[in-house]
Amino acid sequence: MLSITCAGFGGQGVLTAGLILAHISMIEGKRITWVPSYGSEMRGGTASCRLRIGDSEILNPFFTTMGALVAMNHDAVTRFEHSVVKNGLVISNSTMVKDHAFRGDIRVVEVPATDIAASLKNPRGANITMLGATIAATRLFPVETFADGIDAYFAKKGRNNPLNRECFLRGAAAVAEV
């Protein structure tokens, strides 16, 4: 079972990224839970969600330490880096997280997700770009399988945009380059 936290500014699509990951995991036969950060949140404040993905019943949807952190901004790194388990994974949006000294006992994948999404003229696709890096780095699913899942997810919502797949694949490719 993998515990993942996705965090960033409200509006960066962190909750959506988590939901897409949850949805495709479910389609691929995994058990999942998705819990949003919940409280009297401020607009523009930090948003986060926690996912657990596994092959057997997810007992507890909550956790205090995680195997992977998807950090869309600097605040997400500050808030959650210390909760990543030893040898765990941090996917960091390096467009937003600059000059940060990460812990030495974790694996860090830095992806300029906001820049990649902007260069593809899909600025709201930074979250999808981060998902690409997450799938490539965790090897939860084959990259092509997940890319098809993203197409299906948006098609079902009537918002088919081939640039989302493009963002996803660029994010995945960025991991190979690291």
Q: Does 101 bind other proteins (CB under 8 A)?
A: no
Q: Does 85 bind other proteins (CB under 8 A)?
A: no
Q: Does 38 bind other proteins (CB under 8 A)?
A: yes
SS3 assignment for the chain: CEEEEEEEECCCCHHHHHHHHHHHHHHCCCEEEEEECCCCCCCCCEEEEEEEEECCCCCCCCCCCEEEEEECCHHHHHHHHHHEEEEEEEEEECCCCCCCCCCCCCEEEEECHHHHHHHCCCHHHHHHHHHHHHHHHHCCCCHHHHHHHHHHHHHHCCCCCHHHHHHHHHHHHHHHHC
Q: Which is nearer to other proteins, 56 or 87 (CB)?
A: 56
Q: Does 79 bind other proteins (CB under 8 A)?
A: no
Q: Does 158 bind other proteins (CB under 8 A)?
A: no
Q: Does 59 bind other proteins (CB under 8 A)?
A: yes
Q: Does 62 bind other proteins (CB under 8 A)?
A: yes
Cα 176 to Cα 24, 37, 88, 106, 131, distances in angstroms: 22, 31, 18, 18, 14
Residue 34 C-beta: closest distance to other proteins, Å = 4
Residue 118 C-beta: closest distance to other proteins, Å = 29
Q: Does 42 bind other proteins (CB under 8 A)?
A: no
Q: Does 40 bind other proteins (CB under 8 A)?
A: yes
Among 3, 12, 33, 46, binds other proteins (CB under 8 A): 33
| Binding-residue total with other proteins (CB under 8 A) | 20
Among 35, 106, 152, 173, binds other proteins (CB under 8 A): 35
Return d(Cα 6, Cα 13) in angstroms, integer.
10
Q: Which is nearer to other proteins, 29 or 104 (CB)?
A: 29
Give contact residues for other proteins (rule: CB under 8 A): 19, 22-23, 26, 31-36, 38-40, 58-64
